[in-house]
Amino acid sequence: MAENFQVRDLFNPGVVNKMADRIHTAWPDFDKKNFCKTINPALPKLTYSERLNFITDNLEKYLPEDFPTAVTILLKAQLPLYHSDELENSNDRFITITQTAFISRNGLDHFDISMHALYEMTQRMTAEFDVRIFIEKYPEKTLEILKKWALDENPHVRRLVSEGSRPLLPWGKRLNNIKEQPNLSIQLLELLKNDPSEYVRRSVANHLNDHAKSHPDLIVKTLNKWQTEHPGINMQRLIKHATRTLVKNGHSGALELIGFKKGSKAKVSNLSADNTINIGDYLNFSFDVIPTGKLNENLMIDYVIYFKKANGTLSPKVFKLTTKELKINDAISIEKRHSFKIISTRTYYPGIHKIAIQINGEEKGNIEFELVGGG
């Protein structure tokens, strides 16, 4: 992948041309020349979402107005099925999302046809963004279909059940009805919790992590039940990934699920950090963890950066560090550095920041440092 690659580049002239060729093969009346001539010169100036919408706009323009006819053409023009749950050659397949968008835009009055189209398309890429439109408009009908799909032989269809019904899917429309009524989707996850595919189970964990932000106790209760009913390494991995936000927040039930007890007797000593660093540099810090109890302890040791915001307040973000067994007579010494390299997903503001050490979800010590200038 090119060094300067951006997500929007998944929609590029090459994949547009290939899709146009496939549609023309399925329907010789398709004006692939003007379709490509309209889209490709405009792409460089467009963002990801603008490219997605623009290509979909032109599918609407160049395909027949009759929705069932247009869907028949698109289904004949699909890429080959994935051979497994490995996402082979997915960059070239991403253009399929413009076709699932075509379905959700135009197919709400053609429920059965649209569900069949999304079922086929998700086996070539994913329909997770567009099945959500149907969940929102026809929750009972769509969730009933998803229950059936949860038992499908194709792992991409089964993953769609979980990913498509996630309340807080990144880049996707939020499903407030499922966010507010988590059991609507947990009943689907019950069918997938022991899925043979790690690809599907990972989606289940991500889905539960979404719910954990609003319904933490329900998710811990659900995972406790699953762990009791289905112990094993796969369930342990699912639980660890599903509780990652709760663990960072120090939820005692989530910590216990993965083998850590809130209220550690350990203390942090000799915490030190660079007094001043430049934006673009690294913050170096170190500390000791000292046992004060009478028993060995399993520790989850993290650190928290309190970033200065534009309004001058501090906002914490937890970063994973390590897990250790702390023995009664042994201290643990840790050194670490944190990058303040300029990245697109965070804006750094000069001024006083803070770093804290967190053990089993509880802060055990903190120290201030100053971020200055530019890199």
- Residue 103 reports pLDDT greater than 80: yes
List, for residues 23-38, the tens digit of each pLDDT value: 999 999 999 999 999 9
Identify the pLDDT of residue 375: 46
Q: Contact at 8 Å (CB) between 272 and 283?
A: no
User: Which residue bears the tokens 């992948």?
Assistant: 1
List, for residues 37-86, the tens digit of each pLDDT value: 999 999 999 999 999 999 999 999 999 999 999 999 999 999 999 988 87
Structure tokens belonging to residue 367: 């120290």
* Rounded Cα–Cα distance for residues 44 and 46 (Å): 6
User: Which residue bears the tokens 């046992």?
Assistant: 291
Q: Where are the beta strands (DSSP E) in the chain?
A: 267-273, 276-278, 282-290, 297-308, 314-326, 332-339, 351-359, 362-372
Q: Is 298 exposed, middle or buried (0-12, 13-18, 19+ CB in 10 A)?
A: middle
Q: In sequence order, what are the residues at sequence separation of 6 or more whose Cβ sits closer than 8 angstroms to the Cβ of residue 90?
A: 125
Q: Give me the amino acid identity at 11.
A: F
Q: Give me the amino acid identity at 146.
A: L
Q: Contact at 8 Å (CB) between 81 and 88?
A: no
Domains of the chain (ranges, CATH numbers): 7-257 (1.25.40.290), 267-372 (2.60.40.10)
Q: Is the pTM of this model over 0.85?
A: yes
* Rounded Cα–Cα distance for residues 204 and 194 (Å): 10
Identify the pLDDT of residue 88: 65
CA distances in angstroms from 335 to 272, 354, 370, listed in the order given: 10, 17, 19
Nearest residue to 220 via CA among 243, 193, 237: 243
Structure tokens belonging to residue 254: 């989530």
List, for residues 181-232, the tens digit of each pLDDT value: 999 999 999 999 999 999 999 999 999 999 999 999 999 999 999 999 999 9
